[in-house]
Amino acid sequence: MSTNPIPPLHLYSVPRDPQATPEAPPARERPRTAWTADQLMAAEFPEPKWAVPGILAEGVSLLAGPPKVGKSWLSLGLGLSVAAGGQAFDSVPVKGGPVLYLALEDTPRRLQTRMGKLLGGQKAPAGLTLVTECPPFPQGGSDAIAGWLDRNPDARMVVIDVFAKMRGQAPQGVSAYDADYVSVGYAKRIADHYGIAVVLVHHVRKAGSDDFLTEVSGTNGIAGAADATLVLKRARGQADGILHVTGRDVNEAEYALSFQEASGAWQMLDGPVTDHTIGDTRAAILRHVRENPGARPREIVASLPQLDAENVRRTCSRMAADGQLTKDGTGRYFPDTETRTQGTPGVSQLSDCPSTRADLRERVGQPESGLSQLSDSGPAGELGGS
């Protein structure tokens, strides 16, 4: 255990029954780290364990976005869903298990208000542990998180909101890239050792970019060290946000999300992202062409009498120029199938996950690397000792 004392915590989970006998954490074997080529090819490895199937796998995931876009609402909602075993984004079934949520920019009162809104009268899950203060990774934070995970061997996820509060001082004499890589490395060692998802809530640069990965604040060392990167961006049209996802165990995808002001919840919208980020006229034309490939403008007008015929013809031409439709030499329009492969209904095209939400299944994985100096003391449910 680190010699640095862990500061008093503002918020604790439900205390352990004083009469209960604490159980020793299960022993963890040191994972194998070297093989010959034939041994590696003959080995069988379990599939990664998912906190949110198709979106959040075991390992380190960056959840980045501009200030006030709703990252904390999204991450707290995910924490509640996973801890209770409900549905993430009101649509993706998740397996329940303990979740540690480090709300390092919030107060207990604010967390209580947010959870009350998200829960909407439902009972709060006892499996969600919330902490508002924790030392940085190098000053005892890694030990504190490891101690909680030792006491909660069935944990599903750890959320750190925000990452900047945990990274600590950059080592002297190293480049900015190396410092960023090392800072994420603390979380990665924990995630790999315990086989869980660790979510680091982070910020994006002020300047936008066509490549969402380059928008992550800091050097490329941050996104490079993480196993997956999720960027929440504001959207136009019916969607309030677009969640861009890519990673080592998840394929690149986009999801249209809607923020429910009354409940504070982010909900996943059905259909391709473009259905929710374009104007009503384009959306109506796109739906018709998808249902009727090869449609001509006059056929679209006949099925959509509420639209002006000339406006339909101009809009179809513009959509073809924008890559939203494909036009052949005879004037017929087809959906641009290449851009439809991301964001189909359900969590499809993501690391071999089924294409319908009802069939999403959680996968069980195993840790791959060790973590030294693990804390093993403190009451169950608390983060570190007193």
Question: How many degrees, rounded to 5, is the angle at CA 219 between CA 218 and CA 223?
Answer: 90
- Model pLDDT, residue 174: 85
| Amino acid code (one letter) for 7 | P
Which range (103-112, 216-225, 319-328, 348-357) has the least confidence?
A: 348-357
Question: Is the pLDDT higher at 155 or at 370?
Answer: 155
- Model pLDDT, residue 280: 73
**363 and 350 in contact (C-beta within 8 Å)?**
no
Sequence-ordered alpha helix ranges (H) in the chain: 37-42, 71-84, 108-119, 141-151, 176-194, 220-225, 274-277, 280-291, 297-303, 309-321
- Model pLDDT, residue 319: 87
**DSSP per position, 56-77:** EESEEEEEEE-TTSSHHHHHHH
The rounded distance, in Å, linking the Cα atoms of 90 and 67 is 24
- Model pLDDT, residue 352: 35
The rounded distance, in Å, linking the Cα atoms of 136 and 189 is 15
Residue 50, CB half-sphere, CA atoms under 13 Å: how many?
23
pLDDT in tens, 301-317: 888 888 888 888 888 88
Neighbours of 341 (CB within 10 A): 13
The rounded distance, in Å, linking the Cα atoms of 160 and 334 is 44
Q: Percent of the chain having pLDDT more than 70?
A: 74
Average pLDDT, the chain: 78
In degrees rounded to 5, what are phi and psi of residue 198?
-115, 120
pLDDT at 382 over 70: no
Q: Percent of the chain having pLDDT more than 90?
A: 41
- Model pLDDT, residue 249: 87
pLDDT at 8 over 60: no
Q: CA 284, 286, 287, 291: dihedral to nearest 10 degrees? A: 140
pLDDT in tens, 81-105: 999 998 999 999 999 999 999 999 9
Which range (28-32, 41-45, 239-243, 262-266) has the least confidence?
A: 28-32
pLDDT in tens, 171-229: 788 888 898 899 999 999 999 999 999 999 998 755 554 555 556 656 778 888 899 99
- Model pLDDT, residue 346: 38
